[in-house]
Amino acid sequence: MIEPSFWEIFPDAEIYFLHLPIIDNHHDNTKEAYLNELLKKATQEAQYFLPDENFSQNDVIQEWRQAFSKFKTKKGARSSIEALLKRANQGHEFQSINPLVDLYNSISLKYAVPCGGEDFDKIAGDFHLGKAQGGEPFFPLGADTDAPALPEEIIYYDDDGAICRCLNWREAQRTMLTEETTEAILVIEAINDSQRSRAKEAINELKQLSDHYFNISNSSIFSLTQSSPKHSID
């Protein structure tokens, strides 16, 4: 569910979801070259969104920085797509993390849209997007101490606390995708018309890639808008 507080800031947004109900996310050495090639090709395709030599002046970067200026954020927080495009702009090679993350990173780069994912089995109760009350517990990857959400920060959250802070900036260790993930929910964000067009293409291609890689046929896509902010997953 997406809360009214989110639509007050981003009334034209559309958030796309891909539900993958039964998968094996373990590394498969026979498919490693395929994933590496996907990431390599996507890194090259990302250059389309980086025409300006001044990285911060590129349209995608500006759109998301302006979006982040509309709500409370931790100092230095940037959209996940900025982090990926920055690495692509600097000529870095992307190394495999796990199949699900590799697939959505390749799509994120190719379409210049923020992508993320959660282990569905580790979400406690309902999955929400909205303004934080402040103090929602959050343990990022590798952290030993709590880094709670700030009041009025836009977060994904469940009954046990924050899942992802500042939209898709930083992921909680509790629900992150691992090789042990067997059911997942992947997310692509769009906050205006041009992003929505790319995001729709992106989520459809992500479904195709996931269906092919995991050899499944029961994945499903849905999207949430201000006029349709709820969806139930059986």
* Intervals of the chain under pLDDT 50: none
CB atoms within 10 A of CB 122: 18
E strand or H helix at 203: helix 193-214
| Predicted local distance difference test score (pLDDT) of residue 143 | 82
The residue assigned the tokens 């959250």 is 157
| Predicted local distance difference test score (pLDDT) of residue 233 | 82
| Predicted local distance difference test score (pLDDT) of residue 144 | 83
The residue assigned the tokens 């210049």 is 112
- Based on its alpha-carbon atoms, the radius of gyration of the chain, rounded to whole angstroms, reads 17
Residues 156 and 186: their CA atoms lie apart, in Å, by 12
Return the CATH fold of 4-224.
Answer: Phenylalanyl-tRNA Synthetase; Chain B, domain 3 (3.50.40)
How do the domains of the chain map onto residue ranges? Answer: 4-224
| Predicted local distance difference test score (pLDDT) of residue 132 | 97
Tell me, yes or no, if the pTM score tops 0.85: yes
